[in-house]
Structure 1
Amino acid sequence: MPSLTRQNAFAASINHTDVSALADCTSCSFNEDFSNYWTANLYFQARNGSYKRVPQMSNRFLRGSNEGMTIYYFPEDLRSNVTAFKPGFRMLVGDAALRGPEGHTPKNCFRCFTGPNFEGDNDAPCADPVLDTPHLPSGPCLGGIRSNIHFPTCWDGVRLDPDDHKAHVAFSINTNGTYTCPSTHPVKIPQVMLEVVWDTTAFNDKTDWPADGSQPFVLSTGDKTGYSQHGDYLFGWKGDALQRAMDSPSGCSASTCTALTSQSFVTANKCVVKRQVHENIEGWLEKLPGDDVNHSMD
């Protein structure tokens, strides 16, 4: 099951068209953003093998919003301009099949918060080689686990969504803090980052953990390592709204952005998607939703 920020036309299959024209509401702060953002959910697997979905909580900057992911847009290199995505643009980062470090995207990471009030959230995501790990934390996280997923920032300027959803984009090359795009993907696009804070505080009792002491969390892909963390992006900003926001000299936040209009959390939280899968996803489960295999630790 997905963790998502969406418009009310979110579905398992969406036509390759201007996504912003498919819906009449959005759960995002900005009224102009009808994009879809997706990543795998996190589950706790108890010692007896049963699963329970780990709830999400708002990050420290968005207290009062509905629990869910936070989306960031910014120029990777603040000294350069970027070109906003075009209608029909989609991309995928990460690999749901990974179970080890080979092939892992360096800018996908987890951080273990050491206490309440986001203790341990003291610098940029995925910036600390010790605190930020490509795998799920090995011990209890008293304040929760933060997931960060960074998308590529260079585009070939032609393709909107190739068959693998990846070949049209590439990561930039960092040379002493200056980011340049490879010649194959010369167009700089906004840095999109997904952030989810998983509220693991109800699962810190190690007597509920596997008897061998191994970490008990598993992504909804069936992955206990965390290396399969990945994200999907379907662009859906209205008109030239994103370009106007990226060109704003003072930047844009939900409270201070003259280039865009924003809505309250109360209004945003009313935008919901009709239930499409009739399967129990709450409470204690014998297997992961959508999975006909029980990934038991026993």
Structure 2
Amino acid sequence: MHTQSLVALALASPAAALLRFGCSQLVVDRIDPLVNPGVAPSPHLHQIIGGNSLNISMDPKVDIGETATCTTCQFSEDFSNYWTAVLFFQHRNGSFHRVPIIPNAGFEGSKGGMTVYYMQDGLANYAQTSKVTAFRQGFRQLVGEAMYRSKKDAQRFRQLTYTCLETIGTRFPETMNLPTTPCKTGIMANVRFPTCWDGKNLDSPDHMSHMAYPEQGTFESGGPCPASHPVRVPQLMYETIWDTSKFNDQSWWPEDGKQPFVWSMGDKTGYGTHGDYIFGWKGDSLQRAMDSPCYVNCPTLKTQSINTMNKCAVQRTVEEDIDGWLDHIPGLEHLEL
């Protein structure tokens, strides 16, 4: 959906709760405090946004909303951390270059990062009438499997997709695989998390089992939550725009015509895309927002300028070359790509 249409409809909609906000880059680093806590370097590189309490361990007993002092997100009470893998371009000569991130429409001037959504209902339902229970302190989750390389495997996750951008406002069609032809404006990676919680566990050993999809369809279709996971939570969604336009010279692409982009865990298919989330909203601010007339913007939440968002950052834990032309993707020195 075009951003202009979304905003226009937002202004005309009844009281509802759908948050859409930008977050600048916090750090690009080879750490993963959810899947590989305490490990540095982690197996692959991530791009991370959110609060500056980020560290390699992220003790779930620590209240992030009380310990962080700044956030790269528009809503200044959101100290959560959100992250995905990093996209690389592989030149015909075998070298690699990290693909830069550009801001979404409406967040021009931000330092890369992502657009984050919290929704009561899918984007097609502008009324946003469903009651949802906000995540709470200590909650965390993962969606996607970094080692998946087939569509059959990836179909386990219903809404991890890509959009080949003609313009910054392009939203359709979506594919499960990385686009196979040059995209004029870039590639948007879309990560949507499951929306049914077991109501008990803030995490699980695989960081997924405490969450589930609706019994049928998706969050947008309004399907009921299964009895095992009866609590309806917000649809959490990330949009990351990778500026692949810088690499559209097809004389740089593989001679066999295959697409040249590869995720930082070595995935050229796109089926290994994944997203991580560690909740860190201050106090009950997210629940208040979900219970308030918030549509895209939210008068019940404190906001900060893009300039202030851009100033929040943390130092990289793992010092290694991640910029310029590289002979291998960080951490994948022995992997043939």
The TM-score with structure 2 as length reference comes to 0.81
Instruction: Give the corresponding residue for 1:32.
Output: 77
C-alpha contact (below 8 Å) 2:141/2:207 kept by paired residues = yes
Instruction: Give the corresponding residue for 1:51.
Output: 96
Cα distance in 1, alignment partners of residues 144 and 116 from structure 2: 17
Aligned pair 1:93/2:93, yes or no? no
SS at match of 2:152: coil
Deviation at 1:252, TM superposition (A): 4.1
Alignment of 1:164-203 (within 5 A): 164-172=206-214, 173-174=216-217, 177-203=221-247
- Range 221-230 or range 8-17, more displaced: 8-17
Alignment of 1:155-166 (within 5 A): 155-166=197-208
SS at match of 1:139: coil
- Range 141-150 or range 177-186, more displaced: 177-186
Instruction: Give the corresponding residue for 2:271.
Output: 227
- Range 28-37 or range 170-179, more displaced: 170-179
Aligned pair 1:110/2:151, yes or no? no
Aligned pair 1:133/2:175, yes or no? yes
Cα distance in 2, alignment partners of residues 61 and 36 from structure 1: 21
Aligned pair 1:154/2:206, yes or no? no
Cα distance in 1, alignment partners of residues 101 and 66 from structure 2: 29
C-alpha contact (below 8 Å) 2:48/2:113 kept by paired residues = yes
The TM-score with structure 1 as length reference comes to 0.91
Instruction: Give the corresponding residue for 2:336.
Output: 295
For residues 18-48 of structure 1, give each alpha carbon's deviation from its aligned partner in whole angstroms, at most 9, with x where no partner exists.
2223311110101100000010010000011
Instruction: Give the letter for the 1:80 counterpart.
Output: S
Q: Which has the higher helix share?
A: 2
Deviation at 1:11, TM superposition (A): 2.1
Instruction: Give the corresponding residue for 2:64.
Output: 19
Deviation at 1:54, TM superposition (A): 0.3
Cα distance in 1, alignment partners of residues 263 and 92 from structure 2: 17
C-alpha contact (below 8 Å) 2:121/2:222 kept by paired residues = no
C-alpha contact (below 8 Å) 2:194/2:235 kept by paired residues = yes
For residues 209-231 of structure 1, give each alpha carbon's deviation from its aligned partner in whole angstroms, at most 9, with x where no partner exists.
11111100000010000000000
Cα distance in 2, alignment partners of residues 183 and 153 from structure 1: 13
Deviation at 1:291, TM superposition (A): 2.0
Aligned pair 1:248/2:292, yes or no? yes
Structure 1's unaligned 5+ residue stretches are 123-127
Cα distance in 2, alignment partners of residues 44 and 159 from structure 1: 39
Instruction: Give the corresponding residue for 1:285.
Output: 326
- Range 265-274 or range 61-70, more displaced: 61-70
SS at match of 1:179: coil
**Number of corresponding residues:** 283
Instruction: Give the letter for the 2:151 counterpart.
Output: P
SS at match of 1:208: coil
Structure 2's unaligned 5+ residue stretches are 1-44, 123-127
SS at match of 2:118: strand
Instruction: Give the corresponding residue for 2:42.
Output: none
Aligned pair 1:206/2:250, yes or no? yes
Q: Kindly, what percent of the aligned residue pairs are identical?
A: 48
For residues 242-295 of structure 1, give each alpha carbon's deviation from its aligned partner in whole angstroms, at most 9, with x where no partner exists.
00111112x243xx4221000001111111011200101000011101223243
C-alpha contact (below 8 Å) 2:120/2:290 kept by paired residues = yes
- Range 174-183 or range 71-80, more displaced: 174-183
Cα distance in 2, alignment partners of residues 157 and 99 from structure 1: 32
- Range 146-155 or range 174-183, more displaced: 174-183
Instruction: Give the letter for the 2:211 counterpart.
Output: V
C-alpha contact (below 8 Å) 1:76/1:179 kept by paired residues = no
Equivalent residue for 1:5, pick from 49, 52, 77: 49
Cα distance in 1, alignment partners of residues 221 and 324 from structure 2: 46
SS at match of 2:288: helix
For residues 56-105 of structure 1, give each alpha carbon's deviation from its aligned partner in whole angstroms, at most 9, with x where no partner exists.
10111222222111111111362310001110000000000100112311
